[in-house]
Structure 1
Amino acid sequence: MSKYAKVITNINHSDVDRVFDYGISKAIEEKVKVGMRVLVPFGRANKSIEGYVMALSDETELDQSKIKNIIKTCDDFPVFSKEMIELALFMKEKYYTTLSSCLKVIMPSGIGIKTQWIIVLNDYDEDILFTPKEREVIEFLEEKNNVCYKTELESQFGKNIYGVTNSLKNKNVISIRQSVKGNSFERNVQYVKLNLDENFNERYELISKNKRSEKQKEVVDFLFDYNEIQVSKLKEEMGNISSTLKTLEKKGLIEIFNKVEKRSIFDISNIEKTEPPIYTDEQQKAIETIENIRHSDNKKPTLVFGVTGSGKTEVYMAIIEKVLSEGKQAIVLVPEISLTPQIVGRFISRFGEKVSYTHSRMNFGERFDQWKKAREGEISVMIGPRSAIFTPFSNLGVIIIDEEHDTSYKSETTPKYNTLEVSEKLSEITGAVVVMGSATPDICTYHKCMEGRYNIVELKNRTKDSKLPEVYIKDMRKELEEGNRSIFSVDLYNAIKENLEKGEQTMLFINRRGFSTFVSCRKCGHVMMCKNCNVSYTYHSYTDTLMCHYCGSTVKNPKTCPSCGSKYIKHFGTGTQKVEEEVKKYFPNARVLRMDFDTTTKKNSHQIILDKFKNKEADILIGTQMIAKGHDFPNVTLVGIVSADISLNSSSYRSAENTFQLITQVSGRAGRGEKAGKVYIQTYSPDNYVIKLSSKQDYKAFYSDEIGMRELMEYPPFGSFFSIVISGTKEKEVIESSQMLGDIMKYFNRNRDFVILGPVPAFISKIKNEYRFTITVKHTDEERLRNFVMYCIDKFKSRYGKSSLYINIAMNTVIF
C-alpha cells in the first residue's frame, strides 16, 4: 500500500495552492484513494481542515520528522474521478485560479466538513481556588456528564465566556478538543424486520401466551408479510407503536436499522412514454452526420444550427438514444433553470428512469443524491445548467449544449469558467462528442465552424409545417411625435386587445436586470457612444456623468441631444414591474403572470408559473430573458418586445450579438402551433442592422456585418482581453494599488504590444462596502496575453500585494 498522499487543502488562496505530502497510517491505508476527501492537520497550530487526495506515492522528498499523518477519510468513496481531477487542473491553468476553487465547483454542492469544539471536564484537584463564574461552569459540565459542546456553554453563559474557559484550561481543569466530521447529505431511513434467529420461535411463543403482549404479537404478525418495511409506513398502518417497537427490539424479536436511500425528485408514473417521431429529411441528415462524427477518430464539436422550432431537441434525443444503446451516458446542458422542468419531461417520456436533473434551487440533499445516482450508474442522462458538466459519469458518450450562445454558460463567480471550453476539454479526456445547438450561435462558435475547427449541420425549416411569425418593427420615435407616451405602441396595444378577444395568449418581453445605464434620445434615437471602444457610455447618477468602462473616458451628461437638439434625452430603462402595471391599467380583466428574478425565488416557482401559462390559466406572460428561450406554448400567437434598445445599447462589445440573439429567440415563441404568430419589436433605432436582421431571423447576414466590426476592433474571435478588478474596503489603498498594477503593466509593455486601458472605476464601483477599480488588457494572441497578464500580476503581488486586497480576473468578459 502507498505510504504517502499528495493533498491539496480546501483553502482558496494562491499562497497554499499546491500539494502537501501527508503520511498514511496503517489504520486507514486501505481506505485512502485518489480523489477522496480527507481530514488533515495544517499549519503551525495543526488545525484540522479538509483536503483532497490528488495522488498516492511510496516516496517523499521531505524529512520524515516533518511529515504529518492524515487524520481520517471523510467519505467511503472518492468524490473526484481521475477525469475530474484532470479537468480541474485544466481549469486552474486556463482561468488563472486556485486548484481548490476548481475542485470545489466540481464537487457536489453542500459537501463539506462540520467542525465543533468540545469542552471536557478533567479530574482536578479540589483544593484549587475558583472564581464564582468558574465554579458555575464546572457545575454545568458536571450536569452534562463532564462533556459539552462549546456552543452549549456559550448559550448558557454568553459568548464572553472565553476568559473563564481559558483560565480553567490553564489550570488543567478542562480540555478543549476539536470534533470534525464530514457531511454528505445522505438520507438515512429507518427500517424494521423480524429477527429470525434460532431463538425466534421461543420468544414468539412467550408473547403469544401473554395477554399483556397482544400489541407486540399484532406487530410481529404484521411483519410476517414483509421482508422489511419502513418504520414510518408501519406506523401509518398500526398507529403510534414506538414503545412497542422498543420492547420488541429489547426482546430480540425485531431488528431496527437504517438504510441509505436516494431521494426521488419526480414522479415518473404521471409521464406517458413517447416514441421517436418520423424525422424530417433535415433532421435525419443531421443525425446521420453526427453519428458519423461520433464514430470517427476526429471528434470535433458539432453545431446544430437551426431556426427556432426546427426540432433540434429531437436530434439531441436521437443521438442520446444511440449513445445509451452502447451502454454510455449523456450530459444535456440547458441555459436557464426555468428550462429544466419542461425539457426533463420530454426526456423522461422517451428514456424513463434513466433520466435525472440537477439545478441550484434543489436542496443539497436532492442534488447530492442525483450526483450519487450518476456516479453509481443508476442513471444515464443528466440534465441541468452549466454545473451539470461535472456529472461523474464513468462512460460519457455525448455532451449536449442547448442554446450554446447563452451567457449563463460563462460563470460570473470564481472560477470564471466557460462551459463550452470545459466541455471541449472533457470531450478530449473522455472521448465523448460535443453537440451544440442554437438558432443564433455565439459569434466565436460560428467563426470556428467557418474555419473548419467545428462541424456544422443546418436545420433551415420549422417542423410541423408551422411558419416563422410575421414581424413588425415599431418606431417609438414616431409614437412620441404622435403624442403616445405609453410604453406600448398603438399597434401592439391593439394586437394585445385582439388576442384577448380571441382567447389566444401573449408574451411580453423586457430585457432589463434592474438598473438604467445608457443615455438615448427618444426623438431621434441617438445613443451616447464611446468613440474609442464602440460601446455605449454608462450613466452615473451620483456624478451626473457618462463613463466608458473599457477605456475610462468621461463626458458630461447632455441636457439636449447632440444629434437633433431635442430635450427628450435621458438614461433609459423600463422594468417588468412597470410593464405589469401598464398591462393591468390598459387591460384590467386580463389574467397576468410575471416571470423575473423577484417572482422566481421560491423552490419550483419557475415550474408553477410555466404550468399555469401552459394550462391557459393566464392570458399574458411578462418576463425577462427567462421567457426568451426554449418554451413551447402552441396558444401563444403574439410576442411583444417592449424595448429592443435596452440590450442593444448595453456597455458590452457583445451588445449587438446579445440583442440579435434575444430578439430572435423570443420571436421564436410565437406561432409554434397551428395558429400563425405575430411579433412586435419596439425600438428607437428601427434602422439599426441588428433590429432589421433579427426581425428576419437572418443570422448569416448579421454574422457577416458583426464579424467585420469585431475584426476592426480586435474583439473576439480576432483578439482577447483580460478584465481585472482590484477591490478592497479602503478606497485610497484600492486606487493606489490599481495604479501600481497599471504602472507595472505599462513598464513591461515597452514595445506597446498590448493595449492597456485604465485603471478606472469599475462598472459598479462599490459593492458591499468594497471599492472596485478595473484594468482592461487587450491583444490578438491569447497565449501571449495570458502570460503577460499573469507575469505582471505575480510581480505586483510580490512587491505590493496586500491581504486586504482582492484581485478578480476574467478573460473576454467584463466584470461588472
Structure 2
Amino acid sequence: MDRTASHNLDTTLTSQSTNHLSPVLGRVRIVRVALDTPLPTLFDYRTEQSVTPGQLVQVPFRRRQIVGIAWELAQKSKVKPDRLRAISTVLVEMPALSEEWRNLIAFAANYYHRGIGEVALQALPGHLRTPTRWARLFSLSSIQCYRLVEGAAVSLRDNVPIRLRAQRRLAMELIESGVLDAQKARTLCSKASEVIKQWVAGGWVTIETVTLNSAESTFNVLNSSTNNDYAKHIAQIKVANIYKDASLTADVKSTSSSSDEKTLTVCQAHAVSTIAKAIDTRLENSPFTPFILHGVTGSGKTEVYLRTVAKVLQEHKAQVLILVPEINLTPQLECVFRARFPREVLVILHSALAEGDRAQNWLSAHRGKARIVLGTRLSVLASMPYLRLIIVDEEHDPSYKQQEGLRYSARDLAIWRGSHLKVPVILGSATPSLDSWKHAKKGRYICMTMPERGSPDAVLPTVSLIDLEIEKKRQRIVVQEGLSQQLLDAVRDRLKCGEQSLLYLNRRGYAPVLACDACGWVNDCSRCSAHLVLHKLERCLRCHHCGIESRIPNTCPNCGNLDLAPLGRGTQRIEEALSKHFPNARLARIDADSTRRKGSAQGLFEKVHAGHVDILIGTQMITKGHDFRNVTLVGVLNADAALFSHDFRAAERLFAQLMQVAGRAGRAARADSPGDVLIQTRYADHPLFNALIRHDYEGFANQQLEERRQASLPPYTHQALLRAESKKLAQAMDFLKIARTMAKISELADPLLSLWDPVPMSMVRISGIERAQLVIESPSRTALQSFLSVWIVKLRSLRSPVRWHIEVDPLEI
C-alpha cells in the first residue's frame, strides 16, 4: 500500500462519509463507485441512467476515464451537485455482479486492509477493466474451425511423419476431437494455418466458420438446439487447453465409461455420503462445517471429488468451484473432469490464459453457463451466482497465499465464502496444513481419513534413508554429483525393468554458487542479497530474484585466477551427471527453466505419461497431483537444508513436500511394484524422517502443534506483518520504529498485542530495494484486526519516502 495514494485526490470524488450532505435534485441519482485505489472508500458520481449495484461503469477520474463498479446507491452526497461528475458509460450488456460476490470482496478488503475497489477491480479479468475491449467482448464475432473429413483419420495419420512433432500433435488432436478451432490449432502448431491448407488440398480436412456471440463464448453453440454434435466438439475444445496424452486419455475414457459401476472403498463411500448429506441439508439451519479429506497419495480423493460434483450437478443444477495450487496441475485434472462430465460446460481460470480467453471463461461463470470452474487461487474471487460446492485440492500448499498486491489466502477465502453461502467446502490433502489440522482436532472441521490407496492391489511406497555419512566413509558417493551409489544402483534396476524413476531436487540451475578457490570470491548479485545461479546450458549467471543475467567470467574478477568452481548442485547438474551414468536412458528435466515456453510443461508431462521418459528430474513442480503410472522409484536429493531453517514452518513444508513426492511412486495397481522412496540425508535420526518412514502424518502434525503451542506460534496466535521498502535500509528501519512507537500510544495500546522489534528481512535487498519488517501478533484475531484498522489510518498520515504495506496471516517471516 503506497503512502502517497491517500493524498491529492480529485476534489469531486468523495468517501462514504455523510457529513454536511447536500440534496440531489430531480432525476439525478447518486452512485457510489468502487475504483482501483488503495483507499478503503467509495467515490460519488451522478447519473440520469438506470444503474443497478454491481454493474460495471466507466467514469472520469482525474484526467482519465477508468472502469469502476457501481457499489451502492445514495440519496445524498458530500460534494455539491454542480461539482459532482457524471458517469460516462454503464455496461448494460453484462449482468450485475451479485450481492454475494460484493460481500466476498468487501470481506477480503476489510480483513486484508486494502481498498474495496482495489480488491474488486483486480478480481476482474483485464479485458473487463478496459472499456475499449467491451465492444469486442459483447459483440457478434466468428471463429474459424477445422473439421476432419469423415473416414480421413487413417490417411491423415499415415501422411504426417512422426519426426514433425508439432504437425503430428495437431493431427492427433484433430483425429481425436473431430473438430478444432483455429486458436487452439495455433497453440499446437505455430504454422497451423499453412499445414491445414495442405491437409485441405489432400482432402482430409475442411475449413468452416461459426458465428457466435463472443461474450457467450462457445457456450451459446453448446446450448443451441441445432448442430448439436458439432457444438459439443467446439465447446469442449474452445473452453480451455485440454491436456491430451495417449495413455492417460485411455485411462480416463475407461473411467468415464464405467464411473457408475466402479466400486468405492469403504472410506471413499463414507466421505461421499457425509458430504452428500451436507449438500442436501444446505437450506436447513445446520451449522457450517468444512470437510478435511485426509487421504494418502493415491487414496482416490479425486474420485470423491467426482462423485460429489456429480451430485451437485445432477440434483441441484448448480455450479462447482475447484481450486488447485499451481497452473501445471490444471491440465490433468481438467481431462479427468471433462471425461466424467462431457456434457457439462467446464472453464479454466488462471493467469497463464490469454486475456481474451480468461475474460470469456470468467463471463461464462458469471452468467451461470459454466457449471464447473477449475482454476488457481484467483478463481476464488470469480463471480459464480449458483455456487453450491467448493473443493480446495492440496489445501496445505503455500501457493494458495498471494505474495504480491492483495496478499490473500485463497483457501481461507474459500472457507469464508462457503460459510457465507452455507455450502460444503472440501479441503483435500495427504498432508493437511497445521491450521486445518488444529481446527479438526477442535471439532470445527470434519476430518474424513482415507489411510489406504484406492486400488486393492496398490500399496504405499516403502520409504528408506540413505545415510550420506556412512556412504561417504564407504566411498560409495560421488561428491561432486551428490549421488550415492545406492541410489544409482536403484535407478539402474528400474531401467532394466522398463520402469521410470523420479529424482527430486528443489533447486534449479546448474549450481547455486560460482566461486574462486584462490581468493574466496563468489558471484553475488549486485541488486539483491543473493548469489547469481550458474546456468551452464544457457552459459550465464542469473539471479532468481530480480532476473539480472551476466556472462560466466573466464577468470576470477577479483584475483584473475583461472580456476573457478561451481559449488552445490541444481537440476541441470544432476541431469548432466545422470546422462554420464546412463547414456542410453531418456532423461527429462521439469523446472521453471525448462518450462518457460507456453505449453512446454504440458508437453513434458505428456512425454512422461506416454512412457517416453526413463528418468525424470525436477523441482517441486513434479511433487504433487501428477499420476505417473509407471514411476516406481523416487529419489530425494538435498532435503537437509530445510531441517535447520529459521522459518518455524520449514519442517511442516518439508514433510509435506516429501510426502507428496513419495506419493508419486508405485501408483499403478500392481502388488509386485509397491514403489520405493530413497532419501539421501546426513541426519538419518531426525524425527521428521522417522515419521515419514511410517507415513505417520498424524503423529508428526500433533508433535508440531504441541511445539507451536508451547512457543505461542501460529495457529495458536495470529500475526500481521508491516513491511517497509526503501533505497536505504536506514529509512525503512526508521519508518518502522516510528510506526512501533505510534502503536504504543494509549489509544492503540492493547495488552493482547505484541509488537516485535523492527528487523531487516532475511532477504534484505531485492532489485536494489532494501526491505525491513515489523511483526504484530495477538492470541485474539478480533483484537489484531481492530488494532490494524486504527493503526493503518495513522500510518497513512506519515510523510515518508518509504513504501509500506500490511500483510495479514503472513507465511514468510
Q: TM-score range by the shorter chain?
A: 0.7 to 0.9
Q: Contact 2:243/2:332 (CA < 8 Å) preserved in 1?
A: no
- One-letter amino acid of the counterpart of residue 586, structure 1: H
Give the superposition deviation at 1:287: 0.8
Equivalent residue for 2:33? 8
Say whether 1:310 aligns with 2:335: no
Larger mean Cα displacement after TM superposition, 267-276 or 352-361: 267-276
Say whether 1:68 aligns with 2:67: no
Give the superposition deviation at 1:409: 1.1
Cα shift readout 1:724-774 (whole Å, capped 9, x = no counterpart) = 210123444323222222333355687765433332212222223322111
Cα shift readout 1:538-578 (whole Å, capped 9, x = no counterpart) = 99779xxxxxxxxxxxxxxxxxxxxxxxxxxxx99632222
Distance 1:406 1:20 in 2: 37
Distance 1:414 1:396 in 2: 26
Q: Helix, strand or coil for the counterpart of 2:31?
A: strand
Equivalent residue for 1:119? none
- One-letter amino acid of the counterpart of residue 265, structure 1: A
Equivalent residue for 2:104? 87
Equivalent residue for 1:459? 450
Give the superposition deviation at 1:778: 2.3
Distance 1:731 1:74 in 2: 47
Distance 1:744 1:375 in 2: 44
Distance 1:628 1:491 in 2: 22
Larger mean Cα displacement after TM superposition, 780-789 or 706-715: 780-789
Pick the aligned partner of 2:803 from 787, 796, 806: 806
Say whether 1:388 aligns with 2:385: no
Q: Contact 1:573/1:646 (CA < 8 Å) preserved in 2?
A: no
Equivalent residue for 2:277? 292
Distance 1:540 1:756 in 2: 28
Pick 1 or 2: higher relative contact order, CA cutoff 8 A, min separation 6: 2
- One-letter amino acid of the counterpart of residue 743, structure 1: T
Distance 1:89 1:441 in 2: 28
Say whether 1:737 aligns with 2:756: no
Distance 2:643 2:30 in 1: 53
Distance 2:243 2:660 in 1: 30
Distance 1:76 1:182 in 2: 9
Instruction: Give the TM-score taking structure 1 as reference length.
Output: 0.73
Q: Contact 2:743/2:749 (CA < 8 Å) preserved in 1?
A: no
Cα shift readout 1:224-282 (whole Å, capped 9, x = no counterpart) = xxxxx99x9xx989x9xxxxxxxxxxxxxxxx998534444356998744332211121
Say whether 1:783 aligns with 2:773: no
Distance 2:736 2:745 in 1: 14
Say whether 1:333 aligns with 2:323: yes
Larger mean Cα displacement after TM superposition, 104-113 or 80-89: 104-113
Q: Helix, strand or coil for the counterpart of 2:272?
A: helix
Distance 1:480 1:641 in 2: 17
Q: Contact 1:187/1:365 (CA < 8 Å) preserved in 2?
A: no
Give the superposition deviation at 1:790: 4.2
Cα shift readout 1:81-107 (whole Å, capped 9, x = no counterpart) = 221111010001111111122113321
- One-letter amino acid of the counterpart of residue 385, structure 2: S
- One-letter amino acid of the counterpart of residue 370, structure 1: N
Equivalent residue for 2:422? 431
Q: Helix, strand or coil for the counterpart of 2:796?
A: helix
Q: Helix, strand or coil for the counterpart of 2:483?
A: coil
Q: Helix, strand or coil for the counterpart of 1:693?
A: helix
Equivalent residue for 1:265? 240
Q: Contact 1:2/1:57 (CA < 8 Å) preserved in 2?
A: no
Pick the aligned partner of 2:43 from 12, 20, 27: 20
Equivalent residue for 1:324? 313
Question: How has the CA–CA distance of structure 1 residues 363 and 766 changed in structure 2, closer, same or farther, with 3 Å as cutoff?
Answer: same
Pick the aligned partner of 1:587 from 561, 582, 587: 582
Counterparts of 1:705-724 in structure 2, within 5 Å, are 705-724=703-722
Equivalent residue for 1:278? 263
Equivalent residue for 1:758? 757
- One-letter amino acid of the counterpart of residue 21, structure 1: D
Q: Helix, strand or coil for the counterpart of 1:637?
A: strand
Question: How has the CA–CA distance of structure 1 residues 514 and 719 changed in structure 2, closer, same or farther, with 3 Å as cutoff?
Answer: farther
Equivalent residue for 1:615? 610
Give the paired residue count. Answer: 641
Equivalent residue for 2:661? 666
Q: Any gaps of 5 or more consecutive residues in structure 1?
A: 115-179, 193-228, 240-255, 519-537, 543-570
Instruction: Give the TM-score taking structure 2 as reference length.
Output: 0.73
Cα shift readout 1:649-694 (whole Å, capped 9, x = no counterpart) = 3332111111111111111110111122000011122111111112
Give the superposition deviation at 1:19: 1.2
Q: Contact 1:399/1:423 (CA < 8 Å) preserved in 2?
A: yes
Q: Contact 2:54/2:96 (CA < 8 Å) preserved in 1?
A: yes
Give the superposition deviation at 1:291: 1.3
Q: Any gaps of 5 or more consecutive residues in structure 2?
A: 1-25, 145-180, 183-192, 201-209, 219-237, 514-527, 533-565
Cα shift readout 1:100-158 (whole Å, capped 9, x = no counterpart) = 221133212443226xxxxxxxxxxxxxxxxxxxxxxxxxxxxxxxxxxxxxxxxxxxx
Question: How has the CA–CA distance of structure 1 residues 516 and 298 changed in structure 2, closer, same or farther, with 3 Å as cutoff?
Answer: farther
Give the superposition deviation at 1:456: 1.3
Q: Contact 2:33/2:44 (CA < 8 Å) preserved in 1?
A: no
Larger mean Cα displacement after TM superposition, 458-467 or 584-593: 584-593
Equivalent residue for 1:207? none
Q: Helix, strand or coil for the counterpart of 1:801?
A: coil
Question: How has the CA–CA distance of structure 1 residues 731 and 78 changed in structure 2, closer, same or farther, with 3 Å as cutoff?
Answer: farther
Give the superposition deviation at 1:420: 1.9
Say whether 1:725 aligns with 2:723: yes
Distance 2:319 2:211 in 1: 34
Cα shift readout 1:403-448 (whole Å, capped 9, x = no counterpart) = 1111111111221111122112211332321011111100110110
Q: Helix, strand or coil for the counterpart of 2:651?
A: helix
Please tell me the root mean square deviation across aligned C-alpha atoms, in Å. Answer: 3.4
- One-letter amino acid of the counterpart of residue 297, structure 2: T
Counterparts of 1:759-774 in structure 2, within 5 Å, are 759-774=758-773
Give the superposition deviation at 1:190: 4.7
Cα shift readout 1:34-55 (whole Å, capped 9, x = no counterpart) = 2222121234xx5322221101
Larger radius of gyration: 1
Q: Helix, strand or coil for the counterpart of 1:758?
A: coil
